[in-house]
Amino acid sequence: MQKNTTQWRQSSQVFHERAEEYDRWFESSLLFAIEQSAIQSLDITFSQPALEIGVGPGRFAEALQLPFGIDPAMAPLLLAEKRGICTCQAIAEELPFATSSLGAIFLLFTLCFLESPTRCLEECRRILRPNALLVIGFVPATSAWGKNLINKKEAGHPFYRFARFFTVVHVQEILIKNGFHILTSASTLYQEPEKLVTFEQSKTGMDEQAGFVIIATECNKR
């Protein structure tokens, strides 16, 4: 198994230290409402048990009825537990689940923080049952939202200091390379970051210029 460095400890420390601040951000958040709606617009059916990797305080897991969540930061996990999520402190590259044991995995706004996206996808494929779903939501690097976050990273923003942002094409490539077949997708957030004032319905498909892209894939296993 690949040896991981301590980068995950550094990148997750701020989420541990500022967990309550991050959790409060979701309250009455238009951005959260738009992102949640985009995920639900996929109209996918998935089997339990389902896991969210990078569950944080459990806001998405609670809304999507995902019973399990992992995160490297401890403080957010305690908040997720209060929302009824069964949690475990773990990293995406070393998932603490048995082979072929899960019905679905959600990876939402976590891809950019991974030390090894490839290792994470290998682990997802290992623990998913045949034909189970992996759902990935991310901010495309080429969008106005992606550029805004890259600027924050370069300015030393504590939440994004260790983040890496990907294009839609790159995400498609690593999904296919690691044995995932794309089923459906949606894009949203065409308003610029500083001009977000109204609710947006998502559009079908993957758009590099969208601020949020959600992709549902199927795990191909022989």
pLDDT digits over 54-96, tens only? 999 999 999 999 999 999 989 999 999 999 999 999 999 999 9
For the domain that residue 43 is a member of, what is the CATH number? 3.40.50.150
Domain presence at residue 1: no
SS3 24: helix
Instruction: Write the CA distances from 184 to 63, 215, 216, integer angstroms.
Output: 20, 6, 5
Expressed in percent and rounded to 5, the helix, strand and coil fractions of the chain are 35, 20, 40
Put simply, whether the predicted model's pTM sits higher than 0.85 gets the answer: yes
2 pLDDT more than 60: no
Question: CA 83 to CA 78: how far, in whole Å?
Answer: 9
Domains held by the chain: number: 1
What is the band of 159 on the pLDDT scale with cuts at 50, 70, 90? confident
Domain presence at residue 29: yes
6 pLDDT more than 80: no
Domain presence at residue 37: yes
Domain presence at residue 52: yes
Question: CA 19 to CA 41: how far, in whole Å?
Answer: 28
User: What is the domain range of residue 45?
Assistant: 7-219
Domain presence at residue 124: yes
Domain presence at residue 142: yes
Domain presence at residue 2: no
